[in-house]
Every structure is written in structure tokens, then in C-alpha cells.
Structure 1
Amino acid sequence: MNRLLGAVCALPPAIAFAAAFALSTPLPAQEAEADPAPAAPPSAFGKPDPSLVSGGHYEADPHHTLVEWSVDHLGFTPYFGIFGDVAGTLDIDPKRPEQARVAMSIPVASVTVASAGLKSHLLKAPASEGGKPDFFGPKPEDARFVSTLVRITGDQQAEMTGNLTLNGITKPVTLQVLFHGAGTMPPQMGGGEGLGFDATGTLKRSDFGLDFGIPMVSDEVELKIAAAFMKAAADKPGS
């Protein structure tokens, strides 16, 4: 022990202090049982597995279907907003995904942006009676997208073209669609099958009569969509 203390004293002061502290500190008693490993998080109900898609008629989940739009503002930054509360339907046969059909309704009046002033401008009435509003006006009709063609482009990927009606004008829009996941909800959450996709696309707002501020605010609008669909649980025999 004396030799050990002598060796410690021969060390540089900072290291000698740390070594002496370590020697003088009793080791904690070993616990009888090790703490159990943390429980693994519960697995997601949906998985990126197309075999889990049973097919049929699905209703859009308005609480988890979002349409994000983004424009370039003055060349400095992108600015984005969101449409929620989206309603609609999906009819799909997993054996013939190219025959899938989608019809969606998007409430323009409930547009969400970070700036209260911008939202007021988007929904502002025209300056004069009978004039044209800068953007949507105070009582805009819901936008509507109805698919017309689906082309499979890769593993779990497709290109969907449809007619978008916005601001009273109908034009074709093409979306790149990626399968996100499918699965069955637990009984306590109502059961039924969930199905979801990601989609992206672009459009020119001037095509829909929304040309205010161009080119300071870009004509091109980028779209990023999260589309969730649900199918009610099948009735049990005899129920």
C-alpha cells in the first residue's frame, strides 16, 4: 500500500489528486439484479408492405391528410402553407394498382399560414364590387382533384394525373406518388384498414387565375401531400 501511495504522489498534481480520489472512494455495492432492459417501442400499425393492402373502397382521413404548398418569396426564402380537413375517396385493387381512382375535396377557406395578415389577404374581398380578388376571396369554393390516369413507375411508385379544379378553373395536374404504408388498426381504435401515400407535384398558380405578385412571389407552386385513407372494419358474421 505504501508503494502504491508513493507512486500516486509521484504523479503530476492534477493526476495525483484524481487517482487519490478514486482510491478513497468506495465502489458501490453490486445490485442483486440488473435493471431490466427498456421495453421496445410498440411496432407501428402500418408498414411499408403492399401485401397488407386488401383493396376496395377507402375514405380519406381528414385529420391526417395534408396538402402543403410552397412558393418562392422574393428569391430569399420559400414560404409554405397547408390545407387540411381534406375529404375524399380511394378505390384500389392491389392486383391492378394502375386502375386506382382518387377523388379529393380540399377546403381552401381553411388555409393555414403562419401570418394572420397573409391569411386575411388570401381571403380578402376584391377592392371594388364585381372586381377580382388578389387571391381566393372571402368565400372560395373547395378545390377538387379527380384522378384520370395512373401509371406505375417503379417499386411502390406511380405517376397520377388528374383534373384539379381551383378558383373555378380546371386544369390537369400530375403527381408523383409513393406508397407509404398499410395495416390494421387495433379494435380499441375502431379496427379497419389504414393506407397512406406521399405525393409531390408542381403547378402554375397563374393557370388558375391566381397571378397576384408574380414574379416577386413565384408563379410555380410546389406541392407536398400526405394522404391517409381508412376502410371500416368488416362486419363479423352473425353480428
Structure 2
Amino acid sequence: MLKSLAVLAIVTAVPLAAQSAAPQVPGQKDVSRITGGTYRTDPSHSLVEWEVNHFGFNDYFGLFGEVAGTLTLDPKNPAAAKVDVTIPVSKVVTASAGLTDHLLRAGKDGGKPDFFGPSPADARFVSNHIVVNGTEAEIHGSLTLNGVTKPVTLEAEFVGAGANPMSKKETVGFHGEATIKRSDFGITTALPFVADEVSIDVTVAFEKA
């Protein structure tokens, strides 16, 4: 009987010990981990996804990677944060080689390209003012795309902060969403069959400079 109780105690204790020893992920949704200063994007882990409806049948997705830029933060005054990022349009990718080529190919007979063209300038988003509500924020700023600058509001959410175990740098991460009209930026090919509204989904990691 005593032996059975001892075995039961050991069996019960092992998973509890394993749970207590389980490592935590480096980033935690804890604003107290954020320190003030200037942060730079981790381009390898920062992405901008776009989504547009195709012919009314379904939504199609594409990605811009290698987002570069800075974030200036003061934890005591988060509304004073500044964001300035560039998005390399020339590196757009989709699941279709043909569609990616269409986005970046030159216009017919020297005419205007259907979408971005073969050597598009980087897009750029610069914040103007920020409204903070807990771990969420409205980032009001200016987006320059295809040579046109328009106001855009990004609905952002703090995801986590901590030390990156690879780079050893303090890191903060955010997720954001916005909706733009591509016609506002002079991209009008195939309207309205390919929708005017484009949903933007942003995930960015910033490392302390």
C-alpha cells in the first residue's frame, strides 16, 4: 500500500515539475518590459500582407517583406511615439509567378503599367499622431505609394516585448490593420472587377537600436 502511494506521488509530481520547468517564450504582452528609445525593424520578421477581392469570387493575398524603419518610444508617454517605415514594393510576392510578374511588368508599348511596374519606388508610412487605448492604438499617418501620398489610419495592437534570444536585443512587436483604396494611389487597372478596397495586415518586430 505504501509503495503504491509512493509511486502515485512520483507519477503525479513529474508532470507538475515539468510544467514548472517549462520555458516561457521571450516576448510577453507586458508593457512594463518596454524601455524608451529608438527601435529599428527586424526586416526578416516584419511583413505587410495585402488582400483584395478578385472578380467577386474570392480574396487574393500577397506580401511585402523586408520592411525597414524606426519606432521611437517613451513608455511614460506612448501617444508621443513616432513610426517611420518603408516597404519595398519591388519585392512583392504572391503564390502565382504569373501574377507577380503582372504586378511588376512594364506597360504595353511604353504605356503606364497595370500595377506597380518594373522599378517601383518603396512605399513609406510616417505617423502624424497616435491615439492610445491600453495596449491598442490608432496610428494616424501618411502613406506614400505609387508616387501619391494619402492619409491612412492603422489600427495597431501591442503583441509582446522582451529580449530576442538570437540577437540579444530588446524587442517589441505589433500587429496592425488598415484599409486603403488603390484608386487613391493611381492604381486603377481592372476596376471594379478587382476590388478597389485593399485590406492591409501588418506584423512588425522592432529591435532596440
Question: C-alpha separation between the residues in 2 aligned to 1:162 and 1:217?
Answer: 26
Question: C-alpha separation between the residues in 2 aligned to 1:46 and 1:176?
Answer: 21
SS at match of 1:125: coil
Bigger proportion of residues as helix:
2
Question: C-alpha separation between the residues in 1 aligned to 2:55 and 2:42?
Answer: 35
Alignment-derived partner of residue 127 in structure 2 = 147
Question: C-alpha separation between the residues in 2 aligned to 1:94 and 1:128?
Answer: 54
1:191 paired to 2:168: yes
Q: Which runs of 5+ in 2 are unaligned?
A: 1-6
Q: Deviations over 1:56-113 (max 9, x none)?
A: 0000010111101000111111111110011000001011111100000100011110
Question: Which residue of 118, 133, 147 corresponds with 1:138?
Answer: 118
Question: C-alpha separation between the residues in 2 aligned to 1:148 and 1:139?
Answer: 28
Alignment-derived partner of residue 81 in structure 1 = 62
Q: Which runs of 5+ in 1 are unaligned?
A: 1-29, 233-239
**TM-score computed with the length of structure 2 as normaliser:** 0.90
Question: Which residue of 187, 190, 193 corresponds with 1:216?
Answer: 193
Query: Which structure 2 residues correspond to residues 226-237 of structure 1 after superposition, within 5 A?
Result: 226-232=203-209
Question: C-alpha separation between the residues in 1 aligned to 2:98 and 2:164?
Answer: 40
1:181 paired to 2:181: no
SS at match of 1:120: helix
Question: C-alpha separation between the residues in 1 aligned to 2:11 and 2:167?
Answer: 39
Alignment-derived partner of residue 112 in structure 1 = 93
| Shift in CA distance, 124/190, structure 1 to aligned 2, threshold 3 Å | closer
1:166 paired to 2:156: no
Q: Which amino acid aligns with 2:130?
A: V
Q: How many residues align?
A: 198
RMSD of aligned residue pairs (Cα, Å): 1.7
Q: Which amino acid aligns with 1:43?
A: Q
Higher relative contact order (CA 8 A, sep 6+): 2
Aligned-pair CA distance for 1:39: 3.7
TM superposition outliers: structure 1 runs of 4+ over 3 Å = 33-41
Aligned-pair CA distance for 1:161: 1.1
For the pair shown, the structure with the greater C-alpha radius of gyration is 1
**TM-score computed with the length of structure 1 as normaliser:** 0.79
Q: Deviations over 1:117-170 (max 9, x none)?
A: 0001000101022x2100000011111111111012x22111001111111111
Percent identity, aligned pairs only, is 52
